[in-house]
Amino acid sequence: MSFELLRLFGTAVAETAAAGTAAAGAGDAAAAAAEGAVSGPSAIIYYAVQLAPMILIFVVFYFILIRPQRKKDKEAKAMLANLKVGDNICTIGGIHAKITGIKDDTLYIEVGRQKAELVIARWAVRNVEELSVTNDSENLI
């Protein structure tokens, strides 16, 4: 199919010869034609046509997979950097709590009705909750 594309652009493609039929004493052009190599300006177009699908695949992967993941990671880092005392959070373990203190990468949180205090790492926060968790009109946090 790529050969038809090259012919549409007006480039000549050297025909490949059967294996072992290269004549002895032939010049470089004849040897290249026997091996199926393309030379000159047509070579640039030939290799560009061959590389185009791989480049297209990389571009698609970038916009579908890599770029959204980087955006998500950036938002998560911003959320962790903006934690403050009094925020209601949910940890990666599913614990809903309220931040009572922050020291470097350590968070002090209180959990449940008895307000038990726990110490967790900052990276263990899944998200900051906008609304507090309630059960029967009673605030659980």
List, for residues 68-78, the tens digit of each pLDDT value: 999 999 999 99
pLDDT > 90: what percent of the chain? 57
36 with 104, same domain?
no
pLDDT for 3 equals 52
For 91, half-sphere exposure in the C-beta direction (CA atoms, 13 angstrom radius) is 20
72 with 109, same domain?
no
109 with 130, same domain?
yes
CB atoms under 10 Å from CB of 38, counted, come to 19
pLDDT tens-place string over residues 2-27? 555 545 444 443 444 333 444 444 44
16 with 76, same domain?
yes
14 with 66, same domain?
yes
pLDDT for 10 equals 47
Q: CA distances (Å), 59 to each of 63, 66, 112, in order?
A: 6, 10, 48
Structurally, the chain folds into a number of domains equal to 2
Is the confidence at residue 140, as pLDDT, over 90? no
Domain stops at, among 80, 108, 130: 80
16 with 75, same domain?
yes
**Burial letters 53-67, b for 16+ CB under 10 A, else e:** eeeeeeeeeeeeeee
Domain hosting residue 126, numbered range: 88-139
pTM of the model: 0.56
Rounded mean pLDDT, 36-50: 79
93 with 76, same domain?
no
Residue pair 95/111 in contact by the 8 Å Cβ criterion: yes
68 with 122, same domain?
no
99 with 70, same domain?
no
